[in-house]
Amino acid sequence: MTDPEHSVPESTEIELEPNPARTIVPVSERHLSAEAALGTVGIAKRSVDRAESRWASRAWWDADADDYQAEHGDFLGVADFVWCPEGVREANARLLGDIAGQAILEVGCGSAASARWLRARGAYAVGVDLSAGMLGHARAGNTESGIDVPLVQGSADELPFATAGFDAACSAFGAVPFVADSGAVLREVARVLRPGGRWVFAVTHPMRWIFPDDPGEGGLTVAQSYFDRTPYLEVDEDGRATYVEHHRTLGDFVRQIRAAGMVLTDLIEPEWPDGHDREWGQWSPLRGRLFPGTAIFCCERG
């Protein structure tokens, strides 16, 4: 896969602001080395096309891969399937149904802990991810666990797999928030699934968009409109995106699922479990007890 040409659209007005993440929560401490490597100087809200989204996501996840693994690796495990910071596990939730003997694609697999958990239970799991840095941790996880899942580098909106080759697909916060057109991801997943195949994906709950990314009190006050789909960017001093995240409303997702020829069978909004006190970025017991942090869409290809 080659990098697309990376350029900022000429007509775009870029608003540079001090990064509130630096003052509200210590995001920059966790992401310091990625921000330094990419020359991040602030945030912007502007439209961003497919090529720039892909470039920024690849650069970001390559630069942040080691820190992400260091911070979350023990929570995710080496061969465990945790859907979200609320700690929902596939072992209990069984959102993918019977997995033994099934060919299952993990989209935006990161370290591929979920794919290895599936493989260990008899599925033919394959992981796909945009970032060589994240796939490096996936390879290390294969070696450490002795569970060898095939790993492929590619983008979720242009999956490098044959039509109807998988029985199911899953994603825990992989790819969907980082592509300019999440509808394209859903269409691609529908294409590679056999008829009747399940597609289950977890994303940040769309209503979190309206609050600052703060696990504390600051994350309880509405700061922007739910209806504002303008992407969140972090940018370098030339205004180039170094990190991109896109917002879709619940209704947007429902329409994209239907447009991809899939049926939405459930929407899970995990509640924060009693006694679970581990924070993950903006996910915290304080906020989790009041409103959902994760949305898990369960779909079936028609």
Ligand X SMILES: C[S@@+](CC[C@H](N)C(=O)[O-])C[C@H]1O[C@@H](n2cnc3c(N)ncnc32)[C@H](O)[C@@H]1O
Site for ligand X, rule CB under 6 A: 54, 57, 61, 76, 108-110, 129-131, 134, 155-157, 172-175, 178-179
Closest separation between CB of residue 218 and ligand X, Å? 22
Closest separation between CB of residue 13 and ligand X, Å? 25
Between residues 23 and 109, which has the closer beta carbon with respect to ligand X? 109
Rounded Cα distance between 46 and 240, Å, is: 11
Between residues 68 and 272, which has the closer beta carbon with respect to ligand X? 68
Rounded Cα distance between 146 and 109, Å, is: 18
The structure tokens listed for 128 are 């796909």
The structure tokens listed for 260 are 């991809």
User: Which residue intervals of the chain are DSSP H helices?
Assistant: 20-24, 27-30, 32-38, 50-76, 90-93, 113-120, 132-145, 182-192, 250-259, 285-288
Closest separation between CB of residue 202 and ligand X, Å? 8
Residue count (the chain): 302
Compute and round to an integer the Cα radius of gyration of the chain: 18
Closest separation between CB of residue 221 and ligand X, Å? 25
* Secondary structure in 3-state letters for 12-71: CCCCCECCHHHHHCCHHHHCHHHHHHHCEEEEEECCCCHHHHHHHHHHHHHHHHHHHHHH
Closest separation between CB of residue 155 and ligand X, Å? 4
Between residues 108 and 288, which has the closer beta carbon with respect to ligand X? 108
Using Cβ positions, the residue closest to ligand X within the complex turns out to be 110
Between residues 131 and 284, which has the closer beta carbon with respect to ligand X? 131
Between residues 67 and 252, which has the closer beta carbon with respect to ligand X? 67
